[in-house]
Amino acid sequence: MFQRLFSTIILLLILCAFPTMQAYCGHDGPKQDKPGILVVAFGTTMPTAEKALQHIEGVIKKTFPNVPVRMAYSSKIVRAKIAREQHRNIASPAEALAQMKDENFTHVAVQSLHSIPGEEYHNLLKTAYAFPTMGKSMQQVVMGMPLMATSTDLEKVADAIMACLPADRKPNEAIVLMGHGTHHPADVYYAALQYHLAKRDPNIFVGTVEGFPTLDDVIEKLKKNGLTKAWLMPLMSVAGDHANNDMAGDEPDSWKSILDKNGITSVPVLTGLADYDQLVAIWVDHLKTAYSQLNIKSH
């Protein structure tokens, strides 16, 4: 009796040893690691700006031809506005990860398209790291760094910006980059980038909408350098609402209007950082690093 039971157990163990026989053991079938990539941008409601995000998504797909790539927007306001006005649903990072968990993705590299490790980035980090704690199916989630994370990144970003300056810009004309700025401690990155840019070109300035340096700080430097013309460029992944309105708009409080009042003519360049291959390459490098940290078993 016991001997028969014992031999049945042995037989079951042997059957389980063959992957094709796993159905007998009540498994869902052979378990195979399924890696994926989730790209997370702040998001934009402007279709013209969305092109920059599609551009970087395309580069990522080309870099990882065998890995499914998903996209999510971290801004709730942007997602709600798109749903209301364009009748499209864009996933939040949590929704995208839940969907991937549902589709049995086991390892996910999340790449942030934010420019600094500020509030948006840290919220994303919390969401991403929560997933492997919810059951075993999604084993590992790693996060790629935003555009500017290390001093080396700042050097690379400064070099990339130098390579993307408008062709018609003359050395005695300023370049003014509009960063978002934040109350978060990561606001320091804008001043740090200014330091690296100043080493490369004395007439390039970084200002922010909500942080430091301010536009007043920039105007002070423009005047000190005797500059009367400035090229305005967004220091954001897309040339969206801030670039089109706060930077280049006709309202009296836009950067263009304020510079004009200060005797400085400006030429807005409505191109996001994610439109330039040199800058996209930095985000993609960060994703490569993150992806390489996934412990994917090869079959």
Could you list the active site residues? 180
**Two tokens at 168?**
């018609």
- Report the length, in residues, of the chain: 299
Backbone angles phi and psi of 195, in degrees to 5: -60, -50
Q: What are the angstrom distances between the C-alpha of 173 and each of 50, 51, 192, 225?
A: 29, 28, 22, 10
Rounded Cα gap, residues 100 and 107, in angstroms: 10
Ramachandran category for residue 227: left, alpha or beta (phi over 0 → left; psi -120 to 50 → alpha): beta
* Surface-to-core class of residue 299, CB atoms within 10 Å of its CB (0-12 exposed, 13-18 middle, 19+ buried): exposed
* DSSP 3-state of 165: coil
Amino acid at 180: H
Instruction: Say if CB 96 and CB 63 are below 8 A apart.
Output: no
